[in-house]
Amino acid sequence: MNAMIRAIGLLALTWFLQVMVFRFGIFSNGWLIICFHIYGLILLPLDFPKASYLIIGAATGAFLDVVILTGGLHMAAGTFAGFMIPRWSELITPRDGFIKGHSINVNDDGWGRFIGLSILITLSYMFVLFAVEGFKWSLIPSAFAKALCSSVLNVILFSIAQGLFGQKPKTKGPKVSAYPWS
């Protein structure tokens, strides 16, 4: 339960930051855009029911659309990302599986798994966002290229956030030093 509340809180925070700050993060004629709320989707616990990712993804996108007036673009992208999250997380699941309520983090899963999952989820989101925005079959390759560029930028951002605010390694042993003079 705690993990769930923590994850929803984090999602709300990333969503808020997206609305307040990162919504202006549009560079290179729209080839690079920041969608920081995807970080909140990435940090959702990996043992949620599949349908809940769909609903959370769709709701996050829909709220964003209402606030920043993007008319359903983020909802379509969020729904697709929510649909893909369980499939992508299956790809990075270790042989013994994750513990209950586990969210992806660098400390437990390493940079490889974190970046891998982040790039897959972000790419799914960004691809649908750009594809639906273009709304033309001929623009699909360009949508994929844009999605790839933006995904790289966003994953760099998520990695910085993870490095700064992510779970820290627990200190081992007693806190009282055997060598008080050191």
- Interacting residues with another protein between 51 and 90 (CB under 8 A): 51, 54-55, 58, 61-62, 65, 71-73, 75-76, 79-80, 83
- Interacting residues with another protein between 140 and 159 (CB under 8 A): none
- Least distance to another protein, CB of residue 136, Å: 7
C-beta of residue 76 within 8 angstroms of C-beta of residue 70? no
**Could you tell me how far CA 42 lies from the centroid of its own chain?**
3
Q: How many CB atoms lie within 10 A of CB 10?
A: 18
The residue among 66 and 160 lying less far from another protein, judged by its C-beta, is 66
The residue among 14 and 79 lying less far from another protein, judged by its C-beta, is 79
Identify the sign of the CA torsion 168, 173, 178, 180.
positive
CA distance to 36, 93, 114, 126, 164, per residue, from 106 (Å) = 18, 14, 6, 23, 11
The residue among 78 and 166 lying less far from another protein, judged by its C-beta, is 78
- Alpha-carbon span 14 to 100, nearest angstrom: 23
The residue among 18 and 162 lying less far from another protein, judged by its C-beta, is 18
Question: Is residue 129 a contact residue for another protein (CB under 8 A)?
Answer: no
Residues that bind another protein (CB under 8 A): 51, 54-55, 58, 61-62, 65, 71-73, 75-76, 79-80, 83, 132, 135-136
